[in-house]
Amino acid sequence: MPKNILARGIGRVTIPAPTLGPSTPRTPNLAFPVAGAKIPTESLARWAETVAMLLVSPLTPDTSAALTSLGDQLLANGWLEAAHVW
């Protein structure tokens, strides 16, 4: 009867530690926002109004960059669900 490979300790599987970093694309060529630079909650809570205002104008590269930056800031400040809307 063959010996069980796991019983011999051969072929152990190690799980790598997760990396702490963004898993979604961010604004290109910009550093990740500093964790200490907190934006007031009152300002973050108005993210939907800001997005609506940007979307009624023509979608230009600047508008797209502003939307991406807004998502980055929302993510950096812990507003994960709002950041993933875009």
Average pLDDT, the chain: 74
pLDDT, position 57: 86
Structure tokens at 33: 């926002």
- What would the mean pLDDT of 38-59 be, rounded to a whole number? 90
Burial of 5 (0-12, 13-18, 19+ CB in 10 A): exposed
pLDDT, residue 36, reads 47
At 24, is the pLDDT very low, low, confident or very high (cuts 50, 70, 90)?
Answer: low
- Map tokens 């960059």 to a residue: 65
Taking CA 49 as the corner, what is the angle to CA 48 and CA 54, rounded to the nearest 5 degrees? 95
Predicted pLDDT at 46: 93
Q: Are 27 and 69 in contact (CB under 8 A)?
A: yes
